[in-house]
Chain A
Amino acid sequence: METLVACCIGFLTACGIFLMLRGRTFPVMLGLTMLSYAVNLFIFTSGRLTLRGAAVLGTSEHYADPLPQALVLTAIVIGFAMTAFLVILAIRARADLGNDHVDGKLPDADSFKKESR
């Protein structure tokens, strides 16, 4: 189970970073969302992976750490709000600047051709 979760987190992070390095706001946003998913899973596993354990400390030998669950909840809420803000900001930038490039202007036609080749 550990290997599977670790691979999941790694794959999500890799995809997130790849997408974040793109030039348009929409892929960047998707990348950030994926990165925040990876982070949430990672925080969750920081309390160790336990099967069928109650999230209560001290009453039994076999328990799941409740704190990472609380932390991940906070992180999800904050990440969600921030992503929502970024979506609105990206739409505003598209309207204000006339394109959806993160720098506010498209690269020159020549270099753009080279890039897409």
Chain B
Amino acid sequence: MWHLITAPILLPMLTAIIIMLPPVHYSPMRRRWISMISSAIQLVLAVVLLMQVQQQGLLHYAIGNWQAPFGIILVADTLSVVLVCLTSFLALGAICYGSAGEDEKGSFFHPLFQFQLMGINGAFLTGDLFNLFVFFEVLLIASYALLIHAGGKNKTKAAVHYVVLNLTGSAIFLFALAVLYGTLGTLNIADMALKVAALPEQDLMLVKSGGLMLMIVFALKAAVLPLQFWLPATYASASAPVAALFAVMTKIGVYALLRVYTTIFGDTAGELSGIADSWLLIAGLATIALGAVGVLASPDFRRLVANLVLVSVGTLVALVALNTPQSAAAALYYTVHSTLVTGALFLVADLIASQRGKAADRLVSGRRVAQPVLLGVMFVLAALSVAGLPPMSGFIGKLMLLQAVQQPLQQMWIWSLVLLSSLMVIVGLSRAGSSLFWRVSGNDCGTEKAEPLQIFAVCWLLAASPLLVIFAGPLTELAQQAAMQLHDVSSAVNLIIAPGNTGSAP
């Protein structure tokens, strides 16, 4: 059981390799089944790991038994394991949807998908900043290839922008890491927290510039305002299961922001505590506003959902900037809710687009959809949830978020922007829904029906929303516990770095 923490990284990697081996690779059915079964096992293992973390507190695992701070370690606390569970849950839905036919439109869909899961899980579980960079690259190179899966002009165009931007981001990430290593002498997150607390005066500015460069990189991954231009085009052009998985990719940026700016530059960091907070608050609020305007201005439904991703990212980044246990708990609940709902919306958008003939998902009058009741119900449930209306999970998420804001000035800005953006989202979604379902030309409808596996995938993701409401009590407790654990930096550091075992500066 000690090695369980490596399972979310090793299992997708081995699955990807198995899928590429000849007896499996030449049979589409075997590829699909192995991919689906493996991600179901991943979900079970992630839940087991979560229970273990609940019982024993923070777990850490020294890879190759090289002790921290010299070796690379994996760290599982409640926050990271909940996010691993979230990824596995989302991935199972996306793979089921992809297995209904989308995966055969290009080659190597399932191996790439598994490699991307490996990168995402690794990024959540690692306790070392350079290792975080490596896992970022693993998930990025898989996402580059998945983005152009099934081909097409739009995808190639979006992919060029996406790849160039992320390569630039990687270069800045490396600059930041080199600056931090040069001054702190370590890249282990826990050890960095120790070193930052006892930083000599002359190194302050260097570490500050390194820390803020990290903010730029994570803001690029999370798509926060000045760095968000890549997101709508990329997400709108990716094929549906890929876009659904991408819903969790921006959250990795948010997670990295949360991790770095509470553990390393948190309350214990002395002069450098909260260096990014004022930047992040403004950028987050501006992202919410821009996303909400984008929702109203979108010419097609997939772009609208991509803008909904922006709204949720802005909300999360504003919560990260508040830097209190309450805001971290709200951010965790909101992350789980918004990831699953936007993932489901990308899948619903694809189902609608495939049944509307030439009009696809553009918000113009088009052919009648073949299954209006099924798709309509799915759309309404997802829309209610994402807009934050009472019976669904979005409502509780927004409630926690509003409660987490305590200073009057912050309340004024955050409450008004979040509530106003909710209104704009409702307006945008009503407009989209009425054009997609009611503005029909002619009486004939297409013959293309949704596959059972596709319906299952959408229901799987949508079911999460009422479940998040029914089990809201235990889940908010879990989120609060995760937030307390995240903010309890000193005990985590003491656990990871054995006393008297601190690395020496170069």
Which of A's residues lie within 8 Å of B, judged by CB?
A: 20, 25, 28, 32, 35-36, 38-39, 42-43, 45-48, 65, 67-68, 71, 74-75, 78-79, 81-83, 85-86, 89-90, 92-93, 96-97, 102-104
B153 lies within 8 A of A39 (CB): no
A47 CA to B144 CA, complexed, in Å: 32
A57 CA to B187 CA, complexed, in Å: 17
B175 lies within 8 A of A42 (CB): yes
A39 lies within 8 A of B171 (CB): yes
Chain A min CB distance to B460 (Å): 32
23 contacts between A and B (CB under 8 A): A32-B167, A46-B179, A46-B182, A47-B506, A48-B182, A48-B506, A67-B181, A68-B181, A71-B177, A71-B181, A79-B170, A82-B163, A85-B141, A86-B163, A86-B164, A89-B144, A89-B148, A92-B148, A96-B156, A97-B153, A102-B164, A104-B153, A104-B157
A28 CA to B179 CA, complexed, in Å: 25
Interface residues on B, range: 20 to 34
Question: Mask for B141-154, Cβ within 8 A of A = 1, else 0?
Answer: 10010001001110
A36 CA to B174 CA, complexed, in Å: 9
A85 lies within 8 A of B144 (CB): yes
The 7 closest A-B pairs by CB, nearest first: A46-B182, A46-B178, A104-B157, A43-B178, A65-B506, A39-B174, A96-B156
Whether B159 is near chain A, meaning CB under 8 Å from some CB there, is: yes
Choose among B157, B167, B174 the residue that contacts A75 (Cβ–Cβ < 8 A). Answer: B174
Nearest B residue to A44, CB-CB:
B178
| Contact partners of B159 in chain A: CB under 8 A | 89, 93
A35 lies within 8 A of B171 (CB): yes
Which of B's residues lie within 8 Å of A, judged by CB?
A: 130, 134, 137, 141, 144, 148, 151-153, 156-157, 159-161, 163-164, 167-168, 170-171, 174-175, 177-179, 181-182, 506
Nearest B residue to A20, CB-CB:
B168
| Contact partners of B506 in chain A: CB under 8 A | 47-48, 65, 67
| Contact partners of B167 in chain A: CB under 8 A | 32, 36, 82-83, 86
Other than the given A43-B178, A48-B182, A85-B163, 9 more pairs (CB < 8 A) read A20-B164, A35-B171, A42-B175, A43-B177, A46-B178, A71-B178, A82-B163, A89-B163, A92-B156
The prevalent SS among residues of A at the interface is: helix
| Contact partners of B179 in chain A: CB under 8 A | 46
A48 CA to B153 CA, complexed, in Å: 47
| Contact partners of B163 in chain A: CB under 8 A | 82, 85-86, 89
Chain A min CB distance to B172 (Å): 9
A42 lies within 8 A of B134 (CB): no
If A46-B178, A47-B506, A74-B130 touch, does A90 touch B168 (CB 8 Å cutoff)? no
A97 lies within 8 A of B174 (CB): no
A93 lies within 8 A of B156 (CB): yes
